[in-house]
Every structure is written in structure tokens, then in C-alpha cells.
Amino acid sequence: MGTAPTQCPSGITANFHAKFDSRTEFSCSSFPSTLNLSKLNSHPTSKGLVNKIGSLPDIDDLFWEKAPTPILDVVENPTHLKSLSIKELKLLADEIRLELSSTKSKTQRSFKASLAAVELTVALHYVFHAPVDKILWDAGEQTYAHKILTGRRILMPTLRQKNGLSGYTSRTESEYDPFGAGHGCNSISAGLGMAVARDIKGKRERVVTVINNTTTMAGQVYEAMSNAGYLDSNLVVILNDSRHSLHPKIEEGPKTSINALSSTLSRLQSSKSFRKFREAAKDVTKRIGMGMHELAAKVDEYARGMMGPLGSTLFEELGLYYIGPVDGHKLEDLICVLQEVASLDSMGPVLIHVITEENQCSEDNQKKVTVEKQQEGLSLNDIYSFSNDGHCRTYSDCLVEALVMEAEKEKDIVVVHAGTEMDPSLKLFRERFSDRFFDVGMAEQHAVTFSAGLSCGGLKPFCIIPSAFLQRAYDQVVHDVDRQRIPVRFVITSAGLVGSDGPLQCGAFDITFMSCLPNMIVMAASDEDELIDMVATATRIDDRPVCFRYPRGALVRTDYPIHGGSALEIGTGKVLVEGKDVALLGYGAMVQNCLKAQALLAKLGINVTVADARFCKPLDIKLLRWLCSNHDILITVEEGSVGGFSSHVVQFIALDGQLDGRLKWRPIVLPDNYIEHASPKEQLALAGLTGHHIAATTLSLLGRTREALLLIC
């Protein structure tokens, strides 16, 4: 079975899940790019960028009316910052904020994290010499000012769009991105690796990593810090502290203050003379012996703990020299501290605590951003569901309402949430059952084992984790849950393609890695009604773990009713439409696209059966045998990688002898590559998972290849 790419009028490469006759005469036109990239391609700062980005935005998008930015206009790469005065750098920071605000108004993205980090970004590129010096970021949301200063300003309107800039750092996008920003917490580990490699090779470049509050929730950060302290390689870690907390009540308490004294102390801590004096004192106490070195170290730690804010000695215990807090919006202080740190040839790992303030948007703007994010993440449908207040109804809303209904009946139900940020829908559960809701942030590994402990204690935990983040806790899923047959209920959100978040948060693999576990029950909801039923089903499973997935985005139906769920019979699917020619067996959200394909094929006189599998494990064996016995063609469709639902189906039907006769079977899955950021519709088309692609695959198997190509293009 082959996959033949064909260029369509929309510029989308369609993936056909069947082999076509190469002699078929058919042609499709394609539109050229809107702008010539030759000039950008010749620019040294765009190395590797043009190959990734196919076209620039329209002229009207590039030159919208905005405030003048005379200094930024002459800064084509970070080298140009070196000749600017402090006063000019401050003006540059203001202009970058104007630029980000203008881009925000065009792209409707939240730039708060990058707006807060503007002065820090300017200071980093002023002091260090990227791309020779390596600057790594944990969170992509902080890097938009970095992108502007590293030759990507003209492409900012394409942020997170198809063939546009990534929302994260990317090694293939720019030489100024030495490592890709993942889900957070990876920059110190990667930076330490680069620092050790530098030392082994005898090089001298600096390595700087930028982490934030969310990052510090993850265990990998502390593992990396501890190892950095042990290896004692020169490494600069910057904690960009925007004073966020998981718990709102904590935020109401005292915050780390920045005043003239703390600024002076930060400069003193980072100064070359102070560091040399400190190192000399260490040498003297070592020579004296008799425990003097250990005593002096304790005195030093105690004194510096008194100077620093609460918790600063934690980093000292891990082996990092703490400097701070530093005002993240005072360029003089930032540059002074960074220059002192950069000037030392032998310093070991250093942590610079920088305090920044994110610009707070109004409540109305926040609601707008939330609605736009939910709409943008729509995975399958053109139909949006709105409540009376205009809020876009999402699968997450449906999930939380179902959980609330079950929790009102079952006092042992608790919710554990992990991920970068909490879905606004979950606030409803937290408000209703504050003592039964636990948000652990980016500590996904902890979330899984914590849920297992809750279950062992007699509770019924629902562990809610986005698909891409659950990957990081797979060891705990295997050893702490499935192997011990502990009934943890995994709610896998953002399953499948996720639009502008691209491959970083794409939930492509959860069907595969969850369904291979011996004790796991694996389900997927095709619509909001099944999602409610699966919540009820999971509540009643007490002898083994269970998981179910749903996509990011709006609901299938516009008349979504609030009702209680009914437990499903384990391992049973259902037939939605019955035909005689072809059987489409959909899993999860792809059932909706199977129904679209059925409607298209019905117009061509083809009778199609559409079945909703609902369960990947255990499979509905009775349904599978009926589909194989009564149809000549069986096509399985899922929004997941190779090795998932389709693999379980073919494993059974092959061993059952169903493939020994006339039956033709074809799987439609996500392609074996990462699909870059684009709109959900564009991603589905690139993946070959639209209703038209499913119908085209059916037509090709029936020998009607010309009609299949016409249907796609």
C-alpha cells in the first residue's frame, strides 16, 4: 500500500490511503507564494528559516498602521545592540513592546509572558554573543521578543500559522535557537549538556538558560540543577519570576520585594571582586582544615540566605550560586549583573533570580482570548456551539459538568490536574469541590503516582492530563498504575491534532502507548454524549485503570443538553449507519468525519456502514466479525499514530482469519511525521483525515480513482 501526494488548489498536500493508478490523467493547479523570499533568503540571520517557512504574509498584513520604531528598524540582528547606549536600549525595549502589541492585535495571541521578558531579552542579547553563546528558553511564550531581535520580525504576523513561525524556539527555524522549547523544564538539562560538551572540546562559549515559575514545578529542573552543582560547569540559569502561583491564596500573601538594597546586594553578589574574595576564602579554610571549610560554608550560606528572599538557599543547596532578586525591568541592573557573570572564566553554575511583571489584560479581553483559543483549537467541525453568554461550548465544559454531576452523587471522586495551565472549565469543579481538586502544575509524573495513592486510599481519582504531557509520565503509568492494577481514571485531553500548537502539544501517541498496557481499558468519545457516558463508565470501574480521550475544541452539536451519563458496557461499539458496500469503523472524534464521508459517498450511490468503536481495548469482537462478514471493504479511521486502534483491529481480524478471503482492509491514521502548526482544518487535510480523504480512499478501493482525485481537489 502506498501514499501518493498530490498538490491541490489550496496548496495542501493530500495523503491518499490507497494506491492509485499512476497512469490516471489528472492535474491540479497550485497558487504561488504571495511574496518573493529571495531577499530574506540572502540575509545571514535567516539561516534555515526560509526552508521552513513557505510564504510571507500578505502586504496588507505586514504594513498595518502602527507607532514608529526607529531604533528597532535598524536592529536586524543581536550584533546591532552592542553599539547602543543604555538610553537607546530602553527606547528599544519600549519599541519592542509596541511591536508585540501590534502583532498581538493582528494575530489575537496572548503575549503577556513575552511582554514581561522584553528587558531581560534585550539585556541577554546585549551582553552575550548569540549564536556563538547559547541562549535556551524553557517556554516558547517568553521568546517572541527574542524572535524579533534575531531576524524574524517581518514574519511575526505568521506566528503559529501554516508555514509561519513556530510558537516555540526551533532548531530548524533559526541558528539563534540552539534547542527547541518543549513543554518546559528541559533547558537546564540541555544547557548543562552543551556546557559539558564545551568543556570537553576546550571551547569558551557561554550557555544561558531561562526558566520560569511554571518550570519550577517540574522535577527535571531540580534533577538538572543538582547535576549542574555536582559537575560545576560554567552555566547561567535565569529564573524569570513573574510571581505566578498554582494557588491563588498564596499570591495574596507577601511577594519578593525589590528595592535599592536588594539591587545593591545583587550587584555585589555578582561582582568579580566579591566572587574572587569568596573563592579565596574557600581556599584558605581548606588549608586550615579542622572543619573550618565546612563551618565557613555554613556561615556563608546563612549570611547569603539572610540577604536573599525566602527559599533562595534551596538553589545554594543544589550547588548553584544564587544572585538576586534583580528587577527584570531595570536594564542597568540586568546588564550589570549579566556582564559580571559573563566576565568570570571559572564561576560554576549560577542562578540569577529576575523579578518581572506581566501586563494584566482586562477581564473582557481575557474572556475573548479564552474563547478564541477554544475556537482555534477546534479539531473537526465547522459548527460552533455557544451558550447564551456567547461562550464557545467545548468538550472540556462537557467533561467538567459531567464530573460535577458524578461528584455530587459519589463523594469519593477527586480530580487531579497536571499540565502547563489549567483549562478555565475546571474552575467550576474547583469552586464546587475545593477540597477534592488538586492542581499539581507541570509535575505530570507526580500527578500519576499521587492519583495511584489516592486510589489506594479508597478514593476515585480522575487524573486529567493533556495527551502530549501524559507522555512524560509514562513510566509512572506503567509501573505505579497499570502493573499494580490500580483504578486510576485517566482523562486525556487535547487528543489528536491541536492546530497552532503544532507537533509540540499534538496528542498523536496516547492510543498507542496506553492500549499496549495489559490492564488498561482504553476508550475514546466521538461526541459530547459519549464523553458524558465515559465519565459515568470510568466512575464505576474499580478493579483496573481506565482512560478515555477527547479532542481540543468546540462541541459537535449546537443544542448541547446537560444530562447525566449512563455507564457503557465494556468493550462494545455501535453501528450508526448501516449499508452494504463499505464499512467505516471510526475511533473517537474521527467518527464524525466518517459520517461526513458517508454523506459524500451516498451522493455517488455507494452504501456505507459507519460504526463507532468506542473501545480500543477491549475490542468489540462481535461488531468486528459482523463488519468483516457483511462487507467487502473495511476502513478503520483514527486520529492517532501507527500502532494504535487500527493495529489492534488488524491483529484480531488477521488471527481470526478474516483477511484470508475477499475482505480488503485499509487503516487511516496520522502520517509517520510531525505535522507542523497550522489551522485545524489545514492539519487534518495534511494528515489525510478529512471526510473527503476518507471518501477518496473508499473510492480508490472501489476502482474509481478519478472520482477520488476529484473529491480531494
Q: How many helices (H) and strands (E) does the chain have?
A: 29, 19
For residue 690, is pLDDT > 60?
A: yes
Strand partners, 615: 523
Angstrom distance (rounded) from CA 568 to CA 565: 9
Which ranges of 561-620 does DSSP label H, i.e. alpha helix?
A: 590-602
Mean pLDDT of 606-622: 97
Contact 437, 429 (CB under 8 A): yes
Contact 234, 206 (CB under 8 A): yes
Higher pLDDT, 69 or 388: 69
Q: Any idea which of 178-182, 490-494, 579-583 has the lowest mean pLDDT?
A: 178-182
Which grid cell sits at 434?
475545593
Secondary structure class of 31 (helix, strand, coil): coil
- H or E element, residue 445: helix 444-456
Query: pLDDT tens across 636-671, in order?
Result: 999 999 999 999 999 999 999 999 999 999 999 999
In this chain, the answer to whether the domains covering 72-244+293-356 and 574-712 adopt an identical fold is yes
Angstrom distance (rounded) from CA 420 to CA 400: 18
Fold for the domain defined by 574-712: Rossmann fold (3.40.50)
**83-92 as b/e, with b when 16 or more CB fall inside 10 Å?**
ebeeeebbbb
Mean pLDDT of 226-246: 85
β-strands 615-617, 521-524 pairing: antiparallel
How many beta carbons lie within 10 A of that of residue 446, not counting itself? 18
Q: Among residues 605, 653, 645, 610, which one has the least CA distance to residue 628?
A: 653
Residue found by looking up cell 519570576 in the block: 241
- H or E element, residue 367: helix 363-376
Contact 668, 641 (CB under 8 A): no
Query: pLDDT tens across 445-482, in order?
Result: 999 999 999 999 999 999 999 999 999 999 999 999 99
Q: Among residues 414, 552, 401, 445, which one has the least CA distance to residue 185?
A: 445
> pLDDT exceeding 90 applies to what percent of the chain?
58
- Note the CATH architecture for domain 72-244+293-356: 3-Layer(aba) Sandwich (3.40)
Query: pLDDT tens across 93-137, in order?
Result: 999 999 998 887 665 567 888 999 999 999 999 999 999 999 999
The residues spanned by each domain of the chain are 72-244+293-356, 395-549, 574-712
Which residues, other chains included, contact 629 with Cβ-Cβ below 8 Å and sequence gap of 6+?
A: none
pLDDT at 325: 87
Which residue type does 637 have? Answer: V
Residue found by looking up cell 499534538 in the block: 506
- Inter-axis angle of helices 691-701 and 590-602, nearest 10: 60
Query: pLDDT tens across 317-351, in order?
Result: 888 888 888 999 999 999 999 999 998 777 789 99
Angstrom distance (rounded) from CA 123 to CA 654: 62
Angstrom distance (rounded) from CA 162 to CA 441: 30
Which grid cell sits at 220?
527535571
Residue 346's Cβ-side half-sphere holds a number of Cα atoms within 13 Å equal to: 5
- For the domain 395-549, what is the CATH code? 3.40.50.970
Global pTM reads 0.78
Angstrom distance (rounded) from CA 383 to CA 528: 14
Secondary structure class of 581 (helix, strand, coil): coil
**Is the Cα dihedral 279, 238, 358, 310 positive or negative?**
negative
Q: Among residues 449, 492, 485, which one has the least CA distance to residue 471?
A: 492
> pLDDT exceeding 70 applies to what percent of the chain?
74
Q: In what order do the strands lie in the sheet with 633-637?
A: 574-577, 608-612, 582-586, 633-637, 664-668
**Is the Cα dihedral 170, 176, 181, 186 positive or negative?**
positive
Q: What is the DSSP string of 638-690?
A: -SS-TTSHHHHHHHHHHHTTGGGSS-EEEEE---SSPPPS--HHHHHHHHT-S
End-to-end CA distance of the chain: 21
Q: Among residues 139, 117, 121, which one has the least CA distance to residue 130?
A: 121
Question: What Å distances lie between residue 125 and 78, 134, 343, CA to CA?
Answer: 6, 10, 15
Query: pLDDT tens across 669-689, in order?
Result: 999 999 999 988 999 999 999
